[in-house]
A and B are shown apart, each in its own frame.
Chain A
Amino acid sequence: MKKKAKNKSSASAGWKKLAPKSSRRPVTSAALRKRLSSSGKFFLLIIALGALGYGGWWLEKSTRSGSGTLDLTGPGVPISEVSFQTDGVLSEKWFHNWFGPLRGRSLMDLDIARLHRELLKEDQVASATISREFPETLSIEIRERQPILVLHLISDNEGMRKWLVSSDGTLYLGTGYPAKTVSLLPWLDVDRTLIKGREDGSGFERLEGVSSVAPLLDLVRREYPGIYRDWKVVSYERPDEDDPGAHVRVRSGKVRNLRFSPGNYAAQLKRLNYLLLEPDIRRRPSIHSIDLSHGRSVFAKL
């Protein structure tokens, strides 16, 4: 008995459902020639389109030469996002305040080199990388100077101001630092004549001697944090390692006067730590001075 299909749609009963979905290998030479001809025409079409596209590109390129900056974004694509990254305390908000409103400017409207120069004029910024991320993102990546000392300067106009001193001797006012961070930094005490203002009045020249002190502060903070916390004021005189009279002086809570010679701070700090652990010294609330600048000989005045 023959079965009747009941639930199929009318369309499904037509011959079109029997049409082959993909044509099989040509069985005759005529079919093969037809297929090759069709494929050949298709490839010729692709090649023609490719050639047309290349021709257009070449023409555009040749007519564009010497016409100035290449604007890949096209006209009027405003910057919608600023990607700001830093290893310090500055924020994207700071950047926007510093830069001012973008006012619908596109990436290609910005002079990246100039922006880079302006950023480096900020003393807190050690280095900066600026890039365009098309179509509408400005990417800023900066590395900040880290403060190691605080310098109090009094001027007639502005009164007393705290300047932060980085390890390379750069003086800057510092933005975005928590008050506690600044309060824990030792003060710098140097001869006022060593501090020279810039000609354009935008701050001070770099303090050359700080680079000799920085390794000491870095080491003590890292290796002997207990000692570091007690340090109040750091000063230096002729801090050239080759100068026999060069020295670094530190005033701390317990030892009122510490003297280091520039160089081999690790050995000097080790001796200092050893001394401070001596029972006789530990018992005393304060020590008058310890001089570590004479090599293996340490002079302490109780």
Chain B
Amino acid sequence: MSKIIGAVEIGTSKAKALVGEVTAEGGLSIVGMASRPNEGVRKGEIVDYRKAATAVHAALEEAEKMSGTTVDSVYLAQTGAHLRGQMLRGSASVSSSDNRVSVSDLERASKEAKRRQPETGRSYVHHIRTPIILDEKVVEDPVGMLGDKIDLGYWSIDGDDQAIRLALHVISNYSLEVADLILSSIASSTMMAGPDLRRAGTLVIDMGAGVTDLALYRQGYVAFTGVVPVGGDHVTGDLSMGLRILEPYAEKLKIEHGTASSRSSDDKEEVWIIGNKTIGDRSVPRKAISDVIHVRVVELFEIISKELGGLLDPDELKGGVLLTGGGSLLPGIEEIAGKVLGLPVRRASFPPGIAPELAQPENATVLGLLHYGLQDHGLPGRKAGESQTIMSKIAGLVGIGMN
């Protein structure tokens, strides 16, 4: 028996909804998808509840209509500058007399790690488990192994209650439950960086309209996530101000003629702003467009570089840097990123099996929501059905793991 599950991304420029059908064997097929322009969000956070709800509800309705079914619960992406990550660590002594590690030892260490509370007015959005260490050795599944001490950690992201509550209200107002909140950067990086890349060490940069999400993997586990409140809209804003044109024209110029760095041929080339050469239309040098974009893009990667600091170690990031999101479509952006970050950079590509019309960089997050939600993120040795909530139990029936 199959189960219908949805995914929603309340993005700065667009609200996206996806409807997936999970088969009893755990297979997923996308049966509905829709997006709507969203004017209720700035820099990843809802600033106009009604406008955001209108966009999200319209996208959900169309996705449901396309799928010919209805959704009861959704995975919801979370992003925004209000999110903060921190590493929480916990440890536990192996309790059995024969020093064999049991699930309860892991659970005690997990509980110890999650004991630290966020500040007042903030709540945890996501706990992402880091490697389990048994007597200073990294192990995948220590249950049944011999040892004295278990250490494990969580990269835990907490967010502002008000921002989270607004997003939850948008969904509940459409009579849906939120099955889980998933960090946007985790969703998109899970989709675009396969297990091999994550093991090799990879930085995934999801360049959205309002914010840029970062997820850095080391040895297969998340070592850092972050949100830089700079995105494609800032580039558009810069063009609008720099060239003294309206934002819609600036957006058009960015998409049709924008590059991250100017070329020598750009010096003489003129680009018409409206494009129809009618009264009011005028031309601007192509180099001017590239220069404005270049400054902002360099600044963005410098911020990222500063944010990551010592984590940008080429020895630890053998998988390099993957760019995704709508902003990654900007020509020449890989070179700029490579120069600033000092790492090999390339555009991420979707794994095989995804329909070409869906496999667009701007869909990385919403597709990744389902991809991540369907995986088991519980502690080793614990069955998916042992989770606490009804949603988790239902999810367990179809192989969806939650933590």
Contacts and interface: CB of A to CB of B under 8 A. Distances in A.
A8 B124 CA distance: 13
A27 B50 contact: yes
A2 B120 contact: yes
Interface string A15-35: 111111001101110110111
A252 to B, nearest CB: 91
Interface string A35-75: 10110000000000000000000000000000000000000
B175 A34 contact: yes
Given A19-B172, A28-B58, A3 B119 contact: yes
Given A27-B50, A38-B175, A33 B120 contact: no
A137 B172 CA distance: 53
A201 interface: no
Interface residues of B, number: 34
Given A4-B120, A14-B124, A15-B125, A30 B174 contact: yes
Interface in A125-142: none
A28 B54 contact: yes
A10 interface: yes
B38 to A, nearest CB: 13
Contacts of B172: 19-20, 23-24
Interface string B117-138: 1111001110000000000000
Contacts of B169: 20, 24
A38 B58 CA distance: 17
A37 B165 CA distance: 25
A15 B174 CA distance: 19
B61 A34 contact: yes
A264 to B, nearest CB: 88
Interface in B156-211: 158-159, 161, 164-165, 168-169, 172-175, 177-178, 181
A30 B57 contact: yes
Contacts of B165: 18, 20
Bin the interface of chain A by size.
20 to 34
B384 interface: no
B60 interface: yes
A5 B161 CA distance: 14
Most chain A beta carbons < 10 A, residue from B120, B158, B161, B175: B175
Contact of B61 (A3, A8, A14, A33): A33
Nearest to A3: B120
Nearest to B110: A10
A214 B261 CA distance: 129
A189 to B, nearest CB: 90
Nearest to B61: A30
B115 interface: yes
A13 interface: yes
Most chain A beta carbons < 10 A, residue from B70, B111, B161, B173: B173
A27 B168 CA distance: 14
A31 B61 CA distance: 8
Interface in B24-54: 49-50, 53-54
Most chain B beta carbons < 10 A, residue from A6, A20, A34, A38: A34
Given A5-B117, A20-B172, A34-B174, A28 B123 contact: no
Given A23-B173, A31-B175, A34-B174, A18 B61 contact: no
Contacts of B168: 15, 18-20
B102 to A, nearest CB: 20
B173 A17 contact: no
Nearest to A29: B57
A27 B181 contact: no
Given A10-B114, A15-B164, A18-B161, A27 B173 contact: yes
A196 B61 CA distance: 96
B395 to A, nearest CB: 14
Nearest to A35: B175
Contacts of A6: 117
Contacts of A8: 117
B28 to A, nearest CB: 23
A38 B64 CA distance: 13
A266 B126 CA distance: 101
B369 to A, nearest CB: 15
B37 to A, nearest CB: 15
Nearest to B50: A27
A5 B120 contact: yes
Given A4-B119, A13-B118, A30-B54, 18 more contacts: A10-B111, A15-B124, A15-B168, A15-B181, A17-B123, A18-B161, A18-B165, A20-B165, A23-B173, A27-B53, A28-B50, A28-B174, A30-B174, A31-B173, A31-B174, A31-B175, A37-B70, A38-B70
Interface of A: 2-6, 8, 10, 13-20, 23-24, 26-28, 30-31, 33-35, 37-38
